[in-house]
Structure 1
Amino acid sequence: MTEHTGRAPAAKPFLYVVVCAAGIAQDVGRLIAAAQERGWEVGVIATPQGLGFFDAEAVGARTGRPIRSAWRAPGEARPFPAPDAVAVAPATFNTVNKWAAGISDTLALGTLCEAYGLGVPIAVLPCVSDALAAHPAYRASLDRLRGMGVRFGDRYSGEPDADGRRAEFRWERVLDLLAART
């Protein structure tokens, strides 16, 4: 059995991908494809607002599982096995700050808060503008989450550079961060 899930390892490890409401979320299929190529089974949990930022039907078809965004009813079967790891990409200012404060008012945040308590490895790709990243609450949240062992990739602002180009969002980086933990 694995230490953090209390279950026998499956043929493939199971990755929860938490998706937040950021424009770049429309490309989350790239992360799912990369994770599957690396041998992960994937289940997607979206924040309520994040659900509208990507093609849920296409993502569900890719994973073979429903997209989760709401709590399940008592007695309802769990649609995903326990996670072996969690990737949060893209992670917004709101999600990072609420998570660090221990707020569990959505399925996505509840999953993140629980994953820490279960010892599940977590990696994050923040998608936060320069203006929001300057806020002291954000910096304090990063410090708290890092202190909890959460690994962070470089922040993506989504803002164009001097030439008007946007940097590429490096989806695979979150998988690299998780690989470094195992």
Structure 2
Amino acid sequence: MTRTLYARHVDTGIRTAQARGWTVCLILTPSAHRWATEDGDDELKALQGLTGHPIRHQYKLPSQADVLPDPDALLAAPATLNTLTKWADGHADTLALGLLTEALGLDLPVVALPYINAAQAQHPALPRAVTTLRNAGVRVLLNDDQEPDGFTPHRPKHGNVDAYPWDTALDALHSTL
């Protein structure tokens, strides 16, 4: 069974998922890919070695074969405000968004675990995006009445990526299967 994680600096998430028996494929947004290659390709090579699969960040050409197995479920994590709002509006201008938008029509289990700050959480587009995605069947783990154990936005410039709740995301994804 193959499951896919989308994220930036996900070695902790990948290892956590693999310890639970998941086969992990990684799709990066263009921004995450740029960050991962800022000092060369070493980080990408390490992630590819960890997953055993190519790390994708852009669409392939129609003539090219798929290099990743078909997923059984998808985890969008850490999901930014940009990703959540564009995804809810049906944008598919990046591979990551294209796969997420397509997953809704394929009836794949999908979980989104945000990583946003409290100022971003006040943006008026966020509640609409969360509602749209939840109505489409996505389990959005944002701390609110529906997901009291979801991600709680942090103060701007005070995020703690080491405390990112990968276990919460994987528990939620497992429960959707």
Query: Shorter-chain TM-score category?
Result: 0.7 to 0.9
2:85 is matched with: 97
1:30 is matched with: 12
3-state SS of paired residue (1:116)? helix
3-state SS of paired residue (2:18)? helix
Describe the superposition over 1:18-75 as per-residue Cα deviations: whole angstroms up to 9, x where unpaired: 12xxxxx33x111111111111111100000011344222111100111100111122
Q: Distance in 1 between matches of 2:156 and 2:102?
A: 36
Q: Does 1:179 align with 2:174?
A: yes
- How high is the TM-score relative to the length of structure 2? 0.85
2:3 is matched with: 15
2:33 is matched with: 51
- How high is the TM-score relative to the length of structure 1? 0.83
3-state SS of paired residue (1:70)? coil
Give the residue type in structure 2 aligned to 1:39.
G
Q: Distance in 1 between matches of 2:171 and 2:155?
A: 24
Paired residues of 1:152 and 1:177 also in contact (CA < 8 A): no
2:145 is matched with: none
Q: Distance in 1 between matches of 2:117 and 2:174?
A: 27
Describe the superposition over 1:131-157 as per-residue Cα deviations: whole angstroms up to 9, x where unpaired: 111111111000110111111222353
Deviation of 1:160 after TM superposition, in Å, equals 7.5
Instruction: Classify 1:134/1:177 alpha carbon distance in 2 versus 1 (closer, same or farther; 3 Å).
Output: same
Instruction: Classify 1:146/1:62 alpha carbon distance in 2 versus 1 (closer, same or farther; 3 Å).
Output: same
3-state SS of paired residue (1:180)? helix
Q: Distance in 1 between matches of 2:86 and 2:94?
A: 10
Deviation of 1:78 after TM superposition, in Å, equals 0.4
1:113 is matched with: 101
Match among 54, 62, 85 for residue 73 of structure 2: 85
Of all paired residues, the percent bearing the same amino acid is 38
Q: Distance in 2 between matches of 1:43 and 1:74?
A: 20
Paired residues of 1:156 and 1:169 also in contact (CA < 8 A): no
Give the residue type in structure 2 aligned to 1:179.
H
Q: Distance in 2 between matches of 1:130 and 1:156?
A: 8
Paired residues of 1:97 and 1:137 also in contact (CA < 8 A): yes
3-state SS of paired residue (2:163)? coil
Superposition CA RMSD, Å? 1.9
1:124 is matched with: 112
3-state SS of paired residue (2:30)? coil
Match among 108, 127, 141 for residue 129 of structure 2: 141
